[in-house]
């Protein structure tokens, strides 16, 4: 196990397998920039499955226990199930999940389960179809995503739903979303709108905090706190009293969790990032393609993580969030 300057171990690896997405969400890939003719990353720039497997093995040997495949939209990566099959065979891995917008989930859920995937996190920001379609700008209905969610649960995948809450956009959906997923006993995570990326002029005035959301929910539901299930868990979890249903909050804006962050991120083109709010990463792909040894790559990873001092959410101010160069969510994953 390796630790950083603050004693934080590397436990969780997020791997972006593509920068492409079939949504152009208002807050992630706004159509004014990511239009239908946007030039995404050429295939030769992407890590191959063999390269991802090799790096996953190295990271697991360094103490990583959990891997999540992200994007962009990871289900757009051809034969993604083959990559999952490769990764789940690595000794020492305890958990593998995937984050998706759910468009292709109904089609691929059984294949993902058969490949060894354990869980999916599905992004869904509204139940109201008109609002949902205006957010994702793709014409896909919320009902289609819900079908994928229920099918994934039916085939045996663990399912969580993530809702990004943005002031002036979808706060009216907070209670309906909570009611729906409480009824179906599917964990729901409310994510505070984060100012990640340069493309859309995000600002803190669009944030609805965990405290505000919790107050809204408390007017309708009786909630009781749930203890964290592991060190470094970012969601602050609550149970609807008298049920097995849960709701949680990702509070990277109002209540940062930098002090317990154990996540490293690997971009689709092979750069290592130590923070979602990082302004740059370290290219590891070139080392692979220059035939560097595992020992040489491990030494670089040790240096990257050992010198890690990320505390961006702790140090956040409106001024710094506007003046920092930031990485797009579609590139680094969530």
Is 72 a known ligand-binding residue?
yes
Rounded Cα gap, residues 169 and 66, in angstroms: 33
Q: H or E element: which one contains 297?
A: helix 294-306
> CA 131 to CA 140: how far, in whole Å?
11
Q: Please, are residues 281 and 313 in contact by the beta-carbon 8 Å criterion?
A: no
DSSP alpha helix (H) spans, the chain: 49-61, 80-88, 105-115, 129-136, 142-154, 174-183, 210-218, 285-289, 294-306, 312-315, 318-323, 329-332
Q: Is 265 a known ligand-binding residue?
A: yes
68 annotated as belonging to a binding site for a ligand: yes
Alpha-carbon distance 33 to 75, whole Å? 22
Flag whether 308 is marked binding. no
Say if residue 160 carries a ligand binding annotation. Answer: yes
287 labeled part of a ligand binding site: no
Does 99 count as an annotated binding residue? yes
The answer to whether 107 is annotated as binding is: no
**Non-local CB neighbours of 72 within 8 Å, separated by 6+ positions:** 16, 17, 18, 19, 20, 21, 268, 330, 331, 333
Peptide bond just before 72 cis, omega within 30 deg: yes
Query: What is the rounded CA–CA span in Å between residue 325 and residue 334?
Result: 17
- Residue 258 assigned to a binding site: yes
Query: Is residue 26 part of an annotated ligand binding site?
Result: no
Residue 243 CB: number of other CB atoms within 10 A?
A: 12
Q: Is 123 annotated as a binding residue?
A: yes
261 is in an annotated binding site: yes
- 3-class secondary structure, 56: helix
Q: Is 43 annotated as a binding residue?
A: no
Give the annotated binding-site residues for S-adenosyl-L-methionine.
27, 72, 123, 194
Give the annotated binding-site residues for [4Fe-4S] cluster.
21, 25, 28, 258, 261, 275
Give the annotated binding-site residues for GTP.
14, 68, 99, 160, 263-265
Give the annotated binding-site residues.
14, 21, 25, 27-28, 68, 72, 99, 123, 160, 194, 258, 261, 263-265, 275
């Amino acid at each position: 196990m390796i630790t950083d300057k603050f004693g934080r171990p590397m436990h969780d690896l997020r791997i972006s397998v593509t920068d492409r997405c079939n949504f152009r969400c208002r807050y992630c890939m706004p159509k004014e920039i990511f239009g239908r003719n946007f030039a995404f990353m050429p295939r030769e720039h992407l890590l191959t499955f063999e390269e991802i497997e090799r790096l996953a093995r190295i990271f697991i040997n360094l103490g990583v226990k959990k891997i999540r495949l992200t994007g962009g939209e990871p289900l757009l990566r051809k034969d993604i199930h083959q990559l999952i099959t490769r990764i789940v065979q690595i000794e020492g891995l305890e958990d593998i999940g995937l984050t998706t917008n759910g468009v292709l989930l109904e089609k691929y859920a059984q294949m993902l389960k058969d490949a060894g995937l354990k869980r999916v996190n599905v992004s869904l920001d509204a139940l109201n179809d008109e609002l949902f379609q205006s957010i994702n700008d793709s014409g896909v209905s919320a009902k289609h995503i819900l079908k994928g969610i229920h099918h994934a649960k039916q085939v045996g995948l663990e399912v969580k739903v993530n809702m990004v809450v943005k002031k002036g956009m979808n706060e009216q959906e907070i209670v309906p979303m909570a009611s729906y997923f409480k009824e179906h006993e599917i964990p729901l995570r409310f994510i505070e709108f984060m100012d990640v990326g340069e493309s859309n002029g995000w600002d803190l005035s669009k944030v609805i905090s965990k405290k505000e959301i919790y107050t809204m929910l408390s007017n309708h539901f009786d909630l009781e706190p749930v203890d964290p299930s592991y060190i470094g868990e970012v969601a602050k979890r609550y149970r609807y009293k008298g049920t097995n249903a849960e709701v949680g909050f990702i509070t990277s804006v109002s209540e940062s969790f930098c002090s317990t962050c154990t996540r490293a991120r690997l971009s689709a083109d092979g750069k290592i990032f130590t923070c979602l709010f990082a302004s740059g990463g370290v290219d590891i792909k070139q080392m692979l393609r220059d035939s560097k040894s595992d020992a040489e790559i491990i030494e670089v990873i040790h240096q990257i993580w050992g010198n890690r001092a990320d505390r961006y959410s702790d140090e956040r101010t409106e001024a710094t969030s506007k003046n920092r160069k930031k990485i797009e969510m579609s590139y680094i994953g969530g």
